[in-house]
Structure 1
Amino acid sequence: MSHCYKLICSLIDIFNHISVSVSVNREEDDSKSRLPVPGSVLDMFTGEDEDPLTDDSMQHGGRIRSFKHERGNWATYVYFPYIPEEGFLELLDEMTEVAASHSFSLTHTDEFHLSLSKTVVLRHHWIQPFIQSLRTGLTHSRRFICLAEKLKVYSNDEKTRMFLAMEVSTGQAQLLELVKAVDSTMEEFNLDTFYKNPSFHISLAWCVGDCTEHIRKKCLQELQGLVDSHEDGPFLLRLDCQELRCKAGNKTFSIPLH
């Protein structure tokens, strides 16, 4: 009986040793045969959270979002960038000082631009097809020049901010044609199109709240006087419309015109 018991124990030890060896070898084989995930696949999931989650208005000068930020939602708009000309920033500083003397605290716009769309929300995986649709629709669009010289005040749709801007006086027809192309892409993605009768303008400065009427009554004429009497003559803002841009979250795409 003792001999049989020892034999059984020996067999169990051998079985356990074989089981462990097989398990270890299988794990080694799995690790050797397991291929790394391709970078192109990993890249599909990057960027979903690149758009910052911070929604603190105090970090944006008191500005309030037009819509709630959610992961994977990218605030998107189409525009022409404006590169300040000589004397522009000095003129803007003068206008800011005059506004301050009337108790209006104006902040320079971060990036001067002329909008060709409303700000809409794109899902991350829509961005590339959205940009491709824009490129296709603008294939035959040509370069041109916009001029602006008259000051005007605007408020956003939510009436949470006021903008001091220069309204376009030359180039409106070409801008309307571009808006048609941009609107076509917006409709393709079931997004809001631009305003029906747009007043094209380049925003110069802004302040929190809707004080458009107060500025019109108190100091708009004085501000326009600064523009009209600038150095050698009236200041004429010139915008070379050579390259349309689309900003989606923290990504900017360029679409050159021909």
Structure 2
Amino acid sequence: MKRAAAALVSYSSSDSEDEEQAELTKAPPPKKKKLPTLAQTLTGPVHIDDPSLHQGRTRTTPHVEGQWATHVYACVPLQRTSTLYKLLVGIIEAARKEVPTLHDFFDGKTKPELHISLSRPVYLRVHQRDEMKRAVKKIAENTQSFAASFAQITSLMNDDGTRIFLALEIGAGHHELAALTNDLAPALRAIRQQEYYAAPRFHASIAWALLGGGSGGVGAGAQLGAGPVLNTEQLRATGAQLAPQNENGFPSTLLPALNAEYGDRLTSSVALKSFAVEEIGVKIGKDVSLYGLL
């Protein structure tokens, strides 16, 4: 009886193992399921560089996710019924007669403003945004508002020579604006960003055009380069150094004609003799923060 029982147990165990092995051999390996794609609301839109969406401007600096274009400036609000605004519209319309491809900064939808650049276009990481806002706010809290005036209508080019700007050069108020850029310099150095120009010519850009002999450009002799795709605010900041008049830029008759027609009204009119600078702003991406001066 003991032998039979042992044989029975041995037989049963062997048979079970064979069946299990057969099942394992027949069963196909489980397929790995694909993870669902993330919704666009989580990943954000795909960035596409399309010059046709930016008045022909192209990009030299690749788009980097998590990097925010930033510009610091003195803000001068305008009223559409004001003498200054009407004068600026007249200057731009007169300039377009010689430069039809000129683009202005007043879109008709938002409240018009003049921006006097206090920084170059700089690029911040996410964790640096609040730091920059705090720095600009602190500067505003320690700066008195001041009067400024315009000296002349002039032209200037961006650093890479791809765009030319029609601008109003600052006369009175230069010292105070220079003090603001000096106060901002330590914050820029702390995040390893380039400071403003050592010998700045402060200005408010009112219009711009592409340089180059191609379609939509001015200055047939200009070298046509590929500038970064910039929004309106960044464009205001790029025209930071005054270009020699008419060098690969506007027609030689444009600036003399504009200054002859509008210069006296811009610099000597009682209504336009000076304007108040009462706030400075920082634009990070699409986020704008304005801080009042004392």
Q: TM-score with structure 1 length normalisation?
A: 0.72
CA deviations 1:38-59 (Å, max 9, x no partner) are: xxxxxxxx99959x93532222
1:77 aligned partner, one-letter code: H
Write the mapping of 1:1-258 to structure 2, written as runs, cut at 5 A. Answer: 53-65=47-59, 67-84=61-78, 86-110=82-106, 112-209=114-211, 211=219, 212-213=246-247, 214-215=249-250, 217-228=252-263, 230=265, 234=269, 236=272, 238-258=274-294
2:287 aligned partner, one-letter code: K
Matched pairs, number: 211
Aligned residues of 1:78 and 1:246 also touching (Cα < 8 A): yes
Q: Where does residue 28 of structure 1 map in the other structure? A: none
> Larger deviation: 186-195 or 111-120?
111-120
**Superposition deviation, residue 158 in structure 1:** 1.3
1:236 aligned partner, one-letter code: L
Q: Would the alpha carbon gap of residues 230 and 142 (structure 1) be closer, same or farther in structure 2, given more than 3 Å must change?
A: closer
2:148 aligned partner, one-letter code: C
Q: Would the alpha carbon gap of residues 48 and 118 (structure 1) be closer, same or farther in structure 2, given more than 3 Å must change?
A: farther
Q: Would the alpha carbon gap of residues 49 and 149 (structure 1) be closer, same or farther in structure 2, given more than 3 Å must change?
A: farther
> Larger deviation: 235-244 or 184-193?
235-244
Write the distance in 2 (CA, Å) between the matches of 1:108 and 1:91. 14
CA deviations 1:17-43 (Å, max 9, x no partner) are: xxxxxxxxxxxxxxxxxxxxxxxxxxx
Write the distance in 1 (CA, Å) between the matches of 2:59 and 2:167. 20
Task: Point out where structure 1 has 5 or more consecutive residues left out of the alignment.
Answer: 1-45
**Superposition deviation, residue 126 in structure 1:** 1.0
Aligned residues of 2:166 and 2:205 also touching (Cα < 8 A): yes
> Larger deviation: 149-158 or 103-112?
103-112
Write the distance in 2 (CA, Å) between the matches of 1:134 and 1:227. 34
2:92 aligned partner, one-letter code: T
Among all aligned residue pairs of Structure 1 and Structure 2, give the percentage whose two residues are the same amino acid.
26
Write the distance in 2 (CA, Å) between the matches of 1:72 and 1:55. 17
2:87 aligned partner, one-letter code: L
**Superposition deviation, residue 65 in structure 1:** 4.3
Partner SS for 1:76: strand
Partner SS for 2:47: coil
Q: Would the alpha carbon gap of residues 65 and 143 (structure 1) be closer, same or farther in structure 2, given more than 3 Å must change?
A: farther
**Superposition deviation, residue 215 in structure 1:** 2.4
Write the distance in 1 (CA, Å) between the matches of 2:136 and 2:72. 10
Q: TM-score with structure 2 length normalisation?
A: 0.64
Aligned residues of 2:136 and 2:282 also touching (Cα < 8 A): no
Name whichever structure is richer in helix by fraction.
1
Aligned residues of 2:265 and 2:272 also touching (Cα < 8 A): no
Write the distance in 2 (CA, Å) between the matches of 1:47 and 1:241. 41
Write the distance in 1 (CA, Å) between the matches of 2:178 and 2:43. 33
Task: Point out where structure 2 has 5 or more consecutive residues left out of the alignment.
Answer: 1-40, 107-112, 213-218, 220-245
Write the distance in 1 (CA, Å) between the matches of 2:42 and 2:165. 32
1:132 aligned partner, one-letter code: R
